[in-house]
Each structure stands twice: as structure tokens, then as C-alpha cells.
Structure 1
Amino acid sequence: MYVNNVIEKIKAKHPGQKEFQQAVEEVLTSLAPAIQKDKKYQENAILERLVVPDRQIHFRVTWVDDSGCVQVNQGYRIEFNSAIGPYKGGLRFHPSVNESIIKFLGFEQIFKNSLTTLAMGGGKGGSDFDPKGKSDGEVMRFCQAFMNELYRHIGAHTDVPAGDIGVGGREIGYMFGQYRKLTNRFDGVLTGKGLSWGGSLVRPEATGYGCVYFAEEMLKERGESLSGKVCTISGSGNVAIYTAEKLYHLGAKPVSVSDSKGMIYDEAGIDVALLKELKEIKRVSLEEYAKAKPSAKYTKASDYKPGTNGVWSIPCFAAFPSATENELGLDDAKTLLQNGCKCVAEGANMPSTLQAMDLFLKAKICYGPAKAANAGGVAVSGLEMAQNASMRSWDFEMVDKTLHNIMESIFANASETAKEFGDPTNLVLGANIAGFRKVANAMIDQGVL
């Protein structure tokens, strides 16, 4: 009753924020057994406090395009919870960005960061600015204008943003430069920086590598592996690219990637080097992939079956949704299971709808929810913060090994917690409760704030 009351209050108070409602419902519903087991969480109104951000910062971003025209965008930074460490979470630049999406991402970040074993709270930010089709000069001017407001609210021990969709090394560089100019400080205030000025090796690879490491752990517990298996991936950004790369390292064969315009199915296996060239350097459509590889078939998004994502129609052993939220719906989940999929590891943030998630859990396949499976990115961001604090750089092997250990630890924590509550295959339950208890206990220890 307590959990349902909090969920209903959120729905009534924020009727238009569907993404935020979805995140709250997914997390809080799975926390019910922990709330029932220990009354201190209800007595201290932890759920009511958790669902309300510490602060929400909305601001106007005004900049000038290459034609000399003034453009206006909306900026956000939502600092959700810092009970276990400074706010940590990415910045997303995409036309779909709104308050609901930033709140859902920030809320999820609380528990994801808690699971990493590192001292990081949860936050998220971004803008409805679209970097696609913009010149470097336009992106630079926008990033500088964005930082002109954001710098007041962040700091190495306060709030440490990173990248997300639409925010890569170029954007982080422009924002860090403006922060340094405005503050006259060289702080580890942003992660995802260039290697020569405070960045960490493995950061571009981290989310993709970590997601595959997590899938490996899920399968290992059941006596399975990825070796020799066909895998499907959605998306074609950092997460998708490095998921494909790590799958090859483990002997698997990734056969698909996608972008907003369509998808590639390459029965011979995705050419990672070509994908990097097209998406990291040229920033062009995947149509170009099909022109370069005769083995590849390109399908336009407009040709997908209505209400589905064409990537999930490809038979596979394991699926890695790595594009965006709610990209994998109930019909997609049914198709995956009918085609024999045994493992789903989420590289994107909340890519499966609640209905799809429920179906995977009922089928008892290996299902790695985003807050656990895609925590590798923020984990290596945390390692970048540690390197900045010590003014040292670690080599690739050290960072990758630490990432692997963290992902093993996340799986073990989620798995053991799921077993504690009598549902050993339910890593949604296990991850949510494990992440929640660490944060909730810290909130109780620190008093009513």
C-alpha cells in the first residue's frame, strides 16, 4: 500500500511526465519486499524523499548560428540525490530532451551509481539542442553558452557531469574549456575528457564493454557463454560500437546495428572498423555501411513493422538494446523469445518497456536491466574522477580490469540480493533493492534533509 501510494502521488502530481512515472513505477514496485522487510524505510519517508530531486535547474541557452541568427534552447541539470557522493550523471543533447526524460534518467542514476561500489550520487542534465547537422563552430558556441549557466552548479566535489546521447569528446572539450575560463580552475569537473588533459583510457569503450561483461556473468551462472553465439545490437553510438567490439573479443558474432533512419543486418558480422569510421569520424547514416559491405542489408526505419523495432526481428542468442529508452516493446520481446533469444543485456537507459521487461522476467531468460548492465560507463567515469584526484593516469589494462571487476561485483550483488528475496533469476529486483538500500541507509544516517 505504501509503495502504491507514493507511485500514485507521482502520477497525480506529474501527469505529463510519462518517462519519469515509468522509472518510478519500475523501481518502487520492485522495492516493495525490502520496504516490507524493514519498516525503517517507511518510518523515515525514504520513498517520498527519493522521488523528489534535491534541486532542479532549468535555464535558457542562447547562441548564434553560422548564419548570424540567434537560437534559443532549454537547458537542464537535475541533481537528484547526493547521499553517497557528489551528483554524477551525463548530459544529453537531443531534440527529445525534456524535464520528464531528464528526471527519469537522474532517478535511475541514483541506483546505478550506488551499484558501482563507487562514491557517486545521481543526477542528469542536457538540452533539446540537436548537434546533428551543426558545424563545429555552432556546437562550440552552444556548448559555451550552455556552460555559462551550468558552471554555477557543478564542481569536482559537488556535481560531475559526463557525456550521453549527443555529447561526446568534442562537446565535453568545448564545455570544459569554457568552465576553465569562467572559473580559473582546472578541476575534474567533467568526465569523458581528452586523454592529454585528464581523461581516462577505456571511457569510450566502458558502457559497451561493461554490458558484455555483465551478460557474460549472467550466462556463466547458468553454464552458458557468448562464444560462438549470434548477437543483435541496436544503436550505432559508443555503446553499440564497443558492445560489438567486446563481443568479438569473447568469440561471439554481432550482426546488427541501427540509427534513427534504419538498421543494418550483416550476416557476416558487423565490421567494427567501418562502423567507427562512419559514426565516430564521418558521422553519416548507416546507409553508407551497406554501400561499402555487400554482405549487409539496410532497412529503413519507415519499413519496420508498425510498433516494432526491426532489429529485434533478427534471430539471435543474445540481444543488446543500446540506442534509447523504450525502444524494445512487448511485440519485440515476444519476437525475440519466439526466435530463441536467451539473454538480453541493456546497454541503453531503460530501453525495454515495462511490458517487455515483465515478459523477459516471466520467461526467466538472462535479463540484465540497464541500471546494472550499463553501469560500466559511469563506473569508468568514477575511475576518471579518482585519477584526476590523484593527478595520475592509469594504463588501459588497469582500467579495463577494474571495470571488469566492478561489473562482476554488480552482478554478484544483484544476484545475491535477488536470492535473498526468493526470486533468484530476477535481477531487476536484485539490482533495485541492492542499489536502494545503500542510498536509503545513508539518508537515514544523515538525518532528515
Structure 2
Amino acid sequence: MARPKLRVGLVGYGFMGRAHSNAFRKVGNFFDLDREIEQTTRRSITDIFRREGETAFRTVEAQQTLSTLWTKPAAVLALGGGAVETAGIREALRDRAVTVLVEVDVDDAWERVRDSDRPLAQSPEQFRELYARRQSLYEEASDFRAGEIEDVMLAALGIRIEPGRRPEGDALIADPRVLELHPLELPEIHTVQAKTLDEVQRLWTELRISRDGRIVGYGGGTTTDLAGFVAATYMRGVPWTAVPTTLVGQIDAAIGGKTAVDLREGKNLAGAFHYPDEVIIDSTLLSTLPAEERRAGMAEVVKTGLLAGQELWALPEEQMIRACAAFKAQVCLADPFERDRRAILNLGHTFAHALESASLYTVRHGDAVALGLLAALRLSDLSTDVVETLLDPRPVPVNRGDAWAALQRDKKVRNGRIRLVLLEAPGKPVWGVERPEADVRAALDELIA
């Protein structure tokens, strides 16, 4: 599969329970294709079947499905159960979408549709025969199988949470320490230390892969950011796979297609959106993670929990990673290139990036995020207890003038005005918020020793 497709075809959506189907409707750019057909034709599905027959309906269904797949840049498409019987739809799904088979037991599916007016759900025998007949088509059309909304969001961005899964590729860009602890062999192996333009230049000249070759980024957020940027720019773009080996990477940095390098003037100032085909999250790689790196990763967990309004940090580790990754995937799917709500993921990061830049990147990202969350919560007039209790952030010794200058160069600044992500309450983020410059500078000063 080539990505970024950023369209999700849900096969079997209509057989889901009300709670799950309503959850999908909260995802940005959601299209229930049966409803789209009814709105376009101003007729019910039942009426089209009754007056013109199934063949005529399948023609209308194919036209609506293909139009949506070709004209919507990012969307979740809920397909009728019979859509995959049309070869043109199956082909378009392969080319234009990540297709997810929503797994529902046939008996549960019947119970959910038995009292509906679905034309092809008039008797349990007919329904079960139809369900069985379509199974091979469902499996042929689908890239992934899923039972919960989290599964679908992860599948949409190619995120596989599979301990022990090994990536396939042609050139490995790796953190040398990770490679020492967790050896991985690919035809080309390149180690990196920092995400700088000098490293990018070196990799451009060392790489020997062709345009259809695959890069694998293997390490923490620094490594996957760099590998993704190289993949975005080498030969005008080659496919890549991210294998994050830190907690920060597995729940945040490797997800969402952002790739970048740091400049002296600021963090991530040169970059591109280049979604990986696959993100492999292997929790066994965290077994060698130093305690300070795990603590740094928890800052992103707390950030995600504050945005979601859920105590994700209290979950067992594997559930915590899954929930955080799925939350970010859902936000990115609705706004893949950060033109709107995806900005909420920068909660605390305006301050964090300023501190990192002022320290010449000696301050660990997670530690800077923990401090940034303190500032964001203070400017939101909310309690900082959860950050102080779980993360215990300490002010860092950086030059105040350098930190303020870096903050003013933040990518979210518009017309010289600093725009922040704050919270009305946990679970209710707001973005593009302006505060008096004196208040913002005072909040930054509190983070500096």
C-alpha cells in the first residue's frame, strides 16, 4: 500500500452497534455512503431497490463511492455491505483508501439489522447466506481487520502494535545505541546522531537505494524525524517505515507524517509532511529504555490524557501506548496536514521547543514538554497537580533571551502574535489562543532556572 491515502473505507460499518457507529461519526470528514446516496438522489435506499432493483442501486452506489474516493482528500467512508460486490469499487479502494473490515459476528450483525428496512435483510436465512457469500470479497478488499474504533484509527495510518514484528526495507537509518541493543539487518545500514542538515546531507550522498527503495527509521523521535525527512527529500520522495524505540516515539513522534530537522534558530524549522507506509510499535524494544527516557515519554502521555480528558497514564503500559497512539491517529486522520484542529497536539510544545532551542538541544524533549505543560495549564487557569505529581519537572538553566527569541519564531506565530494551545478543561482543548505578551513571557520565565 502506498500512503498517504488518508482515506479509510469501512466495510461492515452498518453491522456495528450504535455506540461504535456513533463514535466513528465523531471523526472528521465522515461519510456514510448510504446516507450520501439518499441525499444525492433524494430517495431512500429501500425506494430505489423497490422501484428499480438491485442492479440500478449498485450503479448509483458505485458512482457515489468513486466520486467520494476521488474528490475527498481525507475521509472516513462507511460502505454498504454489498458495495464490495462491485469490481470497480474494490479496485478504487485498493488504489485510493486504506480499507478496514469491521469484524462483527453474523448473529450479532443480524440482531442489529433485523428490524431495519434494509432490502437484503428480510429474513435470517437470506441474511446469513448473503453474509457468507460476501466474506471472500470482504477479505479481498480489506487491508486490515478491526473490531473497535481504536483498531480502525491505528490501521488507517498503518500503525501495527505487534511485539517482535520486524520491518522490511532496503536502507536502515538507525540510532547506533539502539542498533547495538536490538540488532537489525537490512541491505544498507546508516547510523545517525542528531537531526541536522549536515546529517541529512551525509545520508543523501551515502544512500544507494533506487526510487522504489524503502527507508526504515529505527530509533527514538530524533531518528524517525530525520529518517522521514530524508525519505521525503531523497529522489523527491521514497517510501519509508518508522520503527520507534522510545515511549515518546511510540505514542507521538513517529505518528502523523511530520518529519523535520532542527536549525540553530529553532526546532523543526525545516521539514515536510511525509507519512510512513507503516509504523511498527514493538513494546519489547522499551525493555532497555533508560528510566529518564521513560519519564520523558510520560510527558507526552500526560499531554494526550489532558487533551482526551482521560487518565491514560493510569493504564497498563501496552493499553496506554495503544490508547495514546489511537488518539493521535484519529486527530491526524481528521486533519492530516495541520490546517485546523490537529494543532491541539502542540499543547505545551510552544514553550518546550523554545527551551530546547535555547539549550542547543541538550534539554530532553520530554522534559521540556513537561515544563511546557506547566505553562499551558497556568495560562489556562487550571491545576498543575497532575504534571507536578507524575512528571516532577524542574526549571532548566537556559538563557532567557534566547528562549524568548526562539518562542517568537514558533511555527504557530501569526503576524508576530504568539498563538497557544490551552485547555478550557481536561478534554476541551482550544487552539490559536492569544494571551498578553507579558503573561506569555512570565510563564516562560517560570520554567527557567
TM-score, length basis structure 2? 0.27
Q: Which has the higher contact order (CA 8 A, sep 6+)?
A: 1
TM-score, length basis structure 1? 0.27
Larger radius of gyration: 2
